[in-house]
Amino acid sequence: MPEDWSIPATLQAKPEALAFDLDRTLLSVLSLRAEIPDDAYTAAMLGTERRGSAVLIDASGLVLTIGYLVSEAENVWLTSHDNKAVPAHVLGHDFDSGFGLLQTMGRLDLPPLALGSTKGLGVGSQVTLAAGGGRPAALQTRLIGKREFAGYWEYVLDEALYTAPAHPHWGGAALLDERGRLVGIGSLMIQAEAGDNKTAAGNMAVPIDLLPPILDDLRRHGRRSGPSRPWLGIFATEASDRLVVAGLAPLGPAEEAGLEQGDMILAVAGQPVSDLADLWRTTWDLGEAGVEIPLTIQRDRETITLSITSVDRDRSLKSPKLH
């Protein structure tokens, strides 16, 4: 977040209106800067310098963020509210949830943030979305939805958290419940359904409940245990009730198999697919990374079937130098 920027005072979280010590809680929310090599697979799309936030979740120096900020990062720096900076090492990036896990390489002497749960968090609940930078970066907001999210990059959450109004520096921000516990990590800015057929600028956060089952795996092995999902390298979008290929990962499986931008995806392994979530889940149901994925597409009014040899997405990326 820019040093001279702050949430408008009227929208900032107010300590007197909260049931927890806001200033102490915000000590756990750090600013993050990551440097990515020019030849990294994600450099062209996500950039070689990425900034956002991260959250200290363990006294040993474990830090949680959103994974795209630190994917293939060569150097990561974390800065506290009092401008103390320490380097950090990327332990892992979980593509299924979207979380990224870091380990500090120096002492921060800050209190870790307690983990909460979204199970008792109801739509309409008052929440705080806080980026690194203390109170000026803490937005008082509300939970406006708990529902599925499907991303164009082969990503689905069964239940994502939607908040409004929107925080402009959402990446890796801490979503706090009414007791100041961490219930989500900021991922996106979106146009969210706000009721009465209206939409509002808001944010999507990944629920913290997805972390405990994979935390030990990420810490020890850099990824969750078990087989990896098949990855195709397709960027798809929903347009006029159709699934359209909006882009392709360079040299990815789909591009290598002959899929083209503008192709309409009709079916996976003979099963019609109607939306992004359906497309990705049907693909994943066919097996683990390496499985052949038959796609039925329409191109220039011609129906074509292509077979794509899927891969493990993680194998396309640069691994951390240390572990």
Is there a shared CATH topology between the 21-112+214-219 domain and the 234-316 domain?
A: no
CATH 2.40.10.10, domain 21-112+214-219, yes or no: yes
Q: What value, to the nearest 5°, has the Cα angle with vertex 254 and ends 205 and 258?
A: 150
Q: Write the DSSP symbol of residue 205.
A: E
Report the candidate in 43, 105, 113 with the shortest Cα–Cα distance to residue 78.
105
Per CATH, is 126-210 categorized as 2.40.440.10? no
Read off the pTM: 0.94
Q: For each of the chain's 323 residues, which pLDDT tens digit applies?
A: 566 789 999 999 999 999 999 999 999 999 999 999 999 999 999 999 999 999 999 999 999 999 999 999 999 999 998 899 999 999 999 999 999 999 999 988 899 999 999 999 999 999 999 999 999 999 999 999 999 999 999 999 999 999 999 999 999 999 999 999 999 999 999 987 666 777 779 999 999 999 999 999 999 999 999 999 999 999 999 998 899 999 999 999 999 999 999 999 999 999 999 999 999 999 999 999 999 999 999 999 999 999 999 999 988 887 765 54
Query: Looking at the domain that runs over 234-316, which CATH code has it been given?
Result: 2.30.42.10
- Does the N-terminal peptide bond of residue 112 adopt cis geometry, omega within 30 degrees of 0? no
Q: What's the CA gap between 127 and 18, in Å, rounded?
A: 10
Helices marked H in the chain — which ranges? 22-26, 43-46, 212-221, 253-257, 276-284
Domains of the chain, residue spans: 21-112+214-219, 126-210, 234-316
